[in-house]
Structures are given as C-alpha cells and as structure tokens.
A and B are shown apart, each in its own frame.
Chain A
Amino acid sequence: GAVVSQHPSWVICKSGTSVKIECRSLDFQATTMFWYRQFPKQSLMLMATSNEGSKATYEQGVEKDKFLINHASLTLSTLTVTSAHPEDSSFYICSAQRGGESYNSPLHFGNGTRLTVT
C-alpha cells in the first residue's frame, strides 16, 4: 500500500510553454503533499507544501506564479511550471502524507518527473 504515482516520468518542452506534473496517491487519501526539486548531484529542495482544499505554502525563494500548485482532491496534486525556461530543467519529486497519520509519519514518494526545457 501507500503508492504515489507521478506523471509524466519525463517531459521535454520548449522554452515559454507550460508543463503540468501530476502526483496521485493511488491507494490512500493524502491530506498533505510536498513538492521537491532535485538538481543533478544535489539534494532535494522543498518547494512547497500542498494541503487539500487550500492554497499551497511555498518555501522562501520559490516563485508562486512560476510554480503553480493545486491540490483539488485528496488523491491529486498538480504542479504547473509556467513559461518554462531552460533553468527550470530539473527532477521534480512529490511526496504524500496519508490523511489521519501523525505529522511525523513516513512520507510516500513518487518516482519523480524529469523536466527538460529546450
């Protein structure tokens, strides 16, 4: 159990276009989802915390208008990279916290999305 699916696994887009990445909890309800960005050979940087039915909380330095996050249901959160540029190329990973579990319960991670902006 506790499977998190991320789609697409990889995407190539042209500069200036927008890309949507989906994060779904397949067998549980996720009240909270987290979006991370991972540069090559670097760590995961938390971008934002997404709570179902409310606005996402962004980390300092993350542009809200650039990285749109929507958590419209208990099983789906989306990250839209708007007007993508080559510097947005990265590996994006989501994680989900099962609803009802304590705040320090393990997170369940998706397999990530490799975004390449040309």
Chain B
Amino acid sequence: AQSVTQPDIHITVSEGASLELRCNYSYGATPYLFWYVQSPGQGLQLLLKYFSGDTLVQGIKGFEAEFKRSQSSFNLRKPSVHWSDAAEYFCAVGARGGGNKLTFGTGTQLKVEL
C-alpha cells in the first residue's frame, strides 16, 4: 500500500520569499503524484500532477514540483509567495492501476507574513 509523508505541519514565509513544501512517498513502483490546495472550510483544488515524463512539473498559480525517484520525493516549490497562497497543502499519491483512489499526506499549513 502507498503512503505519503509531509514532514512539515506548519510553515511560515514572508510574502515574496521562496517556498518549498516537502513530500515523501512510499510506493513499490512509479506512482501518480499530486499536490492539492485547500482553503479554510473548502474542498481541494488541484495544483499539479505527475504521471510520467519530465520530472519537473508546472502547475497553476506559479507552483512547480519535482519528482525525484531516488529520494522518493515530490516537493512543491514557488519562487515568490503571495499572501493569497496561505492555505493548507496536501500531497497525494495514487497507485497505477488503482483507479482514482488517492492516499493523502497530513497536509502542511502555510502562513504568509506580510
């Protein structure tokens, strides 16, 4: 079974600073990887996904993530954070052939200081 670890529960960055949210996964083969963002009291919005090919994936809102097989990681990055990026971020993994059943990490709460 697959699993996801997001080591950072909370992260605070200043507006304009760069951001990296960590995600490590456990899966026996190459997984499908996702990053979702959740605003308070709301559902999840897909930021980006990795299925195959280029390991550097571009997403919406200026986010990108890099799949590193050797480190079993899929860290999310943004070069310059905006105050509106404050939210909860979830990394998720899906098994190939497993349909759309995703396993989510515990999330990282991002706070942006003005």
Residues of A within 8 A of B (CB): 4, 6, 9, 32, 34, 41-46, 49, 93, 95, 97, 103-107, 109-112, 114
Instruction: Tell which of B90, B100, B104 touches A103, judged by Cβ atoms closer than 8 Å.
Output: B100
Structural contact, B90 and A49, CB atoms closer than 8 A: no
Q: Which residues of B contact A34 (CB under 8 A)?
A: 100-101
Q: Known contacts A43-B105, A49-B101, A106-B34; can you find 20 more A-B pairs with CB under 8 A?
A: A6-B43, A32-B99, A34-B101, A41-B107, A43-B4, A44-B44, A45-B104, A93-B43, A93-B44, A103-B100, A104-B32, A104-B51, A106-B46, A109-B36, A109-B44, A111-B41, A111-B42, A111-B43, A112-B41, A114-B41
B57 at the interface (CB under 8 A from A): no
On whether A109 and B45 interact (CB within 8 A), knowing A42-B106, A97-B100, the answer reads: yes
Structural contact, B100 and A32, CB atoms closer than 8 A: yes
Which A residue's beta carbon lies closest to that of B97? A103
On whether A107 and B46 interact (CB within 8 A), knowing A43-B90, A44-B90, the answer reads: yes
- Once the chains are docked, how many angstroms separate the CA of A15 from the CA of B53? 51
